[in-house]
Amino acid sequence: MENLILIPLLNVDFSTGDILFALLLTTLAGLSTGIGSAIAFFTKKTNEAFLSLALGFSAGVMIYLSFVEIFPKALESLEETHFSSSSAYLFTTLAFFAGIAFTAVIDRLVPNVANPHELKDVEDMQEPTTKEARESKALLRMGLFTALAITLHNFPEGIATFLAALENPALGISIAIAIALHNIPEGIAVSVPIYYATGSKKKAFIYSFLSGLAEPVGALVGFFILITFITPVTFGLVFAGVGGIMVYLAIDELLPTAEKYGSHHRVIYGFLAGMAVMALSLILLPM
């Protein structure tokens, strides 16, 4: 018989299988940075059309789910307590923007020179021309900062994916796919400066791949902190914050990156396709 973990005062029990499934999704989404790193090493040219459409699609998925699925569920959780409808909506909204602020603060803590969202192309992955370039302290420092930067950025993404998967596996799968697509070009961005810093493709791949582990680590840290005091109220607030995290990621990272890789209209087509696919899936396969 599966072990059950009962969250105090929430009347919700998660089986060990539920937790492992959510952790697996979060891990796979995080480690997709390794796919981006592999693309940088084994392809000669960035497939800009694909990345543009894929990132626009991911942004559409995230924004649609945040407003149509996550925000209403968070509001419903608060309304089921002693909150009035107006109070529940107020606190859900505040928590939503708190999630945005939380992600924005993390983004601001990362120096611009090491920000993994300052993207590189596959074409940038060329052999360093001199030994001095490989041994440059400045480049080494940039590589290390980049590894730290991607780790910090992946924490809120891991929390969002993990909690969504615990709430609803189908919702978690949708978010995990969107996060994974987002992490592919991010993996390219991490690999390029680390490669220039060390002169080693192996080290660049390992750092890029392992930086994705911040997502499952962040998920577990968030879960074990929340499990000690979570109630229907705190669950609703945290879930609303997850919606805010996803909206910030879509607006600050996915859409600008998609614009970098392709034409404006291609991004819009991908964005609308992502929203349409999620709308259709909610109709055919209610979450």
* Cα 268 to the center of its chain, rounded Å: 20
Per the listing, tokens 């109709």 go with 283
Specify which residues 7 forms β-bridges with. 12
Going by C-beta distance under 8 Å and a sequence separation of 6 or more, which residues neighbour residue 85? 79
Q: Which residues contact 202 (CB under 8 A, 6 or more apart)?
A: none
Q: Give the up-direction half-sphere exposure of residue 77: CA atoms within 13 A in the CB hemisphere.
A: 24
In this structure, the number of other CB atoms found within 10 A of the CB of residue 47 comes to 13
pLDDT tens sequence for the chain (287 residues): 344 443 433 445 567 788 889 888 888 888 887 887 777 666 555 566 777 887 888 888 889 888 988 899 889 889 888 788 899 999 999 999 999 998 888 777 765 544 444 455 544 545 544 444 444 455 555 555 656 666 666 777 788 788 888 878 888 888 888 888 777 777 776 676 667 666 777 877 887 777 788 888 878 877 777 667 667 788 788 889 888 988 988 888 778 878 877 778 888 998 999 899 888 877 775 55
CB 254 within 8 A of CB 267: no
Our count of domains for the chain comes to 1
* Domain range enclosing 248: 4-284
